[in-house]
Each structure stands twice: as C-alpha cells, then as structure tokens.
Amino acid sequence: MMNRKCHWFYRTILCGAALLAAIAPSFAQEKSDKKREAPKTLISTAPQHLLFGIDLGVERALSPKFSLGADLTTHLWLLEMPNIAISPMAKYYLTGTVGTGIYARVKAVAGYFFGTTVFDAPYYAGGGVGFGFLLPIGKTGRWYLGADTGIKLAVPFGDGGDRSVEGGDWGISYYTLLGPTALPELSVRIAYSL
C-alpha cells in the first residue's frame, strides 16, 4: 500500500500529466501556410493562489479569437484540507485577439481533497462560465496582466472512507469562497507569452 504522506505527491504528478494530455492536441498545427503567424502560447498564474499553493495555467491560441487552455491549482499549505484541481477551459475573445482583449469563457473543474472535508467526499467536479480581459504590459510585448470573473458549481462526490473529518466552519467557507471549488470566481492573472 502507498505511503499516505507521499500519496498527494503521486496524485499531483498524475494531475500534471492529465493537464499536459488535455492541452497537447492544441499544440498541433498546420505548417502549410508559411505567411500565417504561429499560434500564441501563454503561461500564466493567479497570484492570489500563491498564498495557499501553486497555480499554473497554459493557454494556446487556435485562431486569432479562440483559445484552449487549462489551469492546475494546488493548495498544499496553510490549510487543514490540501487539494488539487485541474480546470480545462475554452475562451472566445469578443474584442481584440488572444492575449489582448476581452473574452468570454467556459470551464470545467475536477479535483481531489487530500483530507475528508465537512462534505465527507474527497472528490469534486463541475463547470462554470465567466469573462475577463488580458492586456499586454511593458515594452517587450511578452507580459500580460488581466482579470477574470465568473460563477462555477463544483459538486462533491465519492466515499470518504474512514478518514478523519477536517475543516469545520473554515472548511465550508474555503469550499464556497476561496478554493478551486468556489462558487464566485474573481482572480487577477499574470501571463507570459512564449
């Protein structure tokens, strides 16, 4: 049986592999038109998540207005209930082009709590909608700053087994307001173009 202390590490690796597998098809591109500009790839983070863990996002332009991406969020410290979430998403830029405009997005989320929560369910999954913007900053044109807002519903499921319940009232507020499962979404994003 796997050591419980290393259990979160192996799941983090598996979720990272799933993130790469989810965005890998978007990296495939046709090279038939040499005049066509290569699709843009953005690597991003949400600084507010750095208080609890690591947040890493990838966005790949499929056309000037449409992009696919995914976020991997791990909340591993300062919490009674560490967790990991992967969130694939699609964005359509209403103004401007990928990385420089206002967008609408749809997203899915799936994750795992490493301890039993007040909901007595270790897994959660759901989806949501939102909108936001990204604007280039600086003279190089490689850095972007933006904001994102939306609503999401992630439903807990699964059998918690015989793990001890953690979280209490703090667990409910974290689940509904602060974590990757939060109903309202409001974040600042910093991105870098590859």
- Pairs from 7-15 (Cβ < 8 Å, separation ≥ 24): 7/114, 8/76, 8/82, 8/84, 8/114, 11/84, 11/112, 11/114, 12/74, 12/84, 15/72, 15/84, 15/86, 15/112
pLDDT digits (tens, 9 = 90+) for 130-187: 999 999 998 888 999 999 999 999 888 887 655 554 545 556 677 777 777 788 999 9
pLDDT at 6 over 70: no
Q: Identify the pLDDT of residue 36.
A: 46
pLDDT digits (tens, 9 = 90+) for 22-78: 555 555 544 444 444 545 899 999 998 888 899 999 999 999 999 999 999 998 888
Q: Is 126 exposed, middle or buried (0-12, 13-18, 19+ CB in 10 A)?
A: middle
- Report d(CA 173, CA 63) in Å as an integer: 39
Residue 61, CA distances (Å) to 13, 54, 78, 82 in order: 25, 24, 35, 32
Confidence of residue 79 (pLDDT cuts 50, 70, 90): confident
Q: Identify the pLDDT of residue 71.
A: 95
Lowest mean pLDDT among 46-50, 107-111, 114-118, 184-188: 114-118
